[in-house]
Amino acid sequence: MYSSLRRTQFCFIRYKIVMPIKLEARTTLPSNNKAYAKKEYWEERFATEESFEWLVSYDDIAIKLEKYLPRDKADPILLVGCGNSNFSYDIFCKGDFTNITSIDYSENVIDAMKYKYSEYPELKWICADMTELDEDAFPVDSFACVIDKAAMDALMSEVRLTYLVHYVEN
Ligand SMILES: C[S@@+](CC[C@H](N)C(=O)[O-])C[C@H]1O[C@@H](n2cnc3c(N)ncnc32)[C@H](O)[C@@H]1O
C-alpha cells in the first residue's frame, strides 16, 4: 500500500474518543461492520449522504496536526479515503495549503466533491483505490504529506475480524 509514496510524511489520524461525537444516522448504519470494507456500501451511502465528518474535524486537531504538515504551504498534500468530509476544504481554507489532492474509490463521492468545490482549483478530487495507486498518476515522492482520517479503519473492519478468528482458531 502507498508504494508510490516512499519517504513521505504520513499522518494516520486515529483518535481516542474523549468528547461527544456526532453519531451516524440510523439509515446509514450497516447491519454488520464488515460492510465498511465494501465499496458498494460507500457508493450507496454517498448516493444520498451530503456530508459526514468521521472521528474529528479539522478544528478539533488543527494544532496537533500542524507539526505533520509541510512548512511550504504550496507543497502537495494527499488525503486518502476523503469521503464527503470537509477536511480537505478546511486544510485549504483554514490551513492555507494550496495544493491538496483527495482520493476515494467511490465514484459517487468524488463526483459530488468535484461539483461541490468546483470553484477551488487548489482542491483536486480523484477516484482511486488507495491500495492500488498507479505510479504514473501518483509517482514516487510526489506528495510531501499523506493524511488518512478513518480510511484505514474502513479497510481494516474486515481484516481485524479475520485476524481475530485466526487468533481464536490457533
Ligand atoms: C470512514 S470513511 C472516512 C471519510 C473521511 N476521511 C472522514 O474522515 O470523514 C472511509 C472512507 O474511505 C473510503 N475508502 C475505503 N476503502 C478505500 C480504498 N481502498 N481506496 C480509497 N478509498 C477508500 C470510503 O469510500 C470512505 O469514503
Domains contained in the chain, CATH given: 3-14+32-169 (3.40.50.150)
Residue 156 has pLDDT above 50, yes or no: yes
Nearest-atom index, ligand 1, CA of 13: 8
> Could you tell me where the DSSP H helices lie in the chain?
39-46, 58-65, 87-93, 107-116, 151-169
Tell me the per-residue pLDDT of 11-26, one tens digit each, with 9 for 90 and over: 676 655 544 455 666 5
pLDDT above 90 as % of the chain: 68
In DSSP terms, which residues pair with 79 in a beta bridge?
Answer: 102, 147
Burial of 10 (0-12, 13-18, 19+ CB in 10 A): middle
| Binding site membership of 149 for ligand 1 (Cβ less than 6 Å) | yes
Its pTM stands at 0.86
For position 145, what pLDDT does the model report?
Answer: 95
Closest C-alpha among 85, 73, 81 to residue 2: 81
- Over residues 55-69, the mean pLDDT reads 94
| Confidence band, pLDDT 50/70/90 cuts, at residue 32 | confident
Distance (angstroms) between ligand 1 centre and the Cα of 61 equals: 19
Residue 164: all three cell numbers together: 481475530
Q: Is the CB of 49 under 6 A from ligand 1?
A: no
Residue nearest to atom 10 of ligand 1 (CA): 151
Looking at per-residue confidence, does 157 or 79 come out higher? 79
**The predicted structure's pLDDT at residue 78:** 97
Considering the chain, what percentage of its residues have pLDDT values greater than 70? 77
pLDDT confidence of residue 164: 47
Any atom of ligand 1 within 6 Å of the Cβ of 155: yes
| Mean pLDDT for the stretch of residues 144-151 | 95
Nearest to 58 by CA among 112, 94, 24, 101: 94
Average pLDDT over residues 3-8: 56
Mean pLDDT, range 37-49, rounded to an integer: 95
- Return the ligand 1 atom nearest residue 130 CA: 20
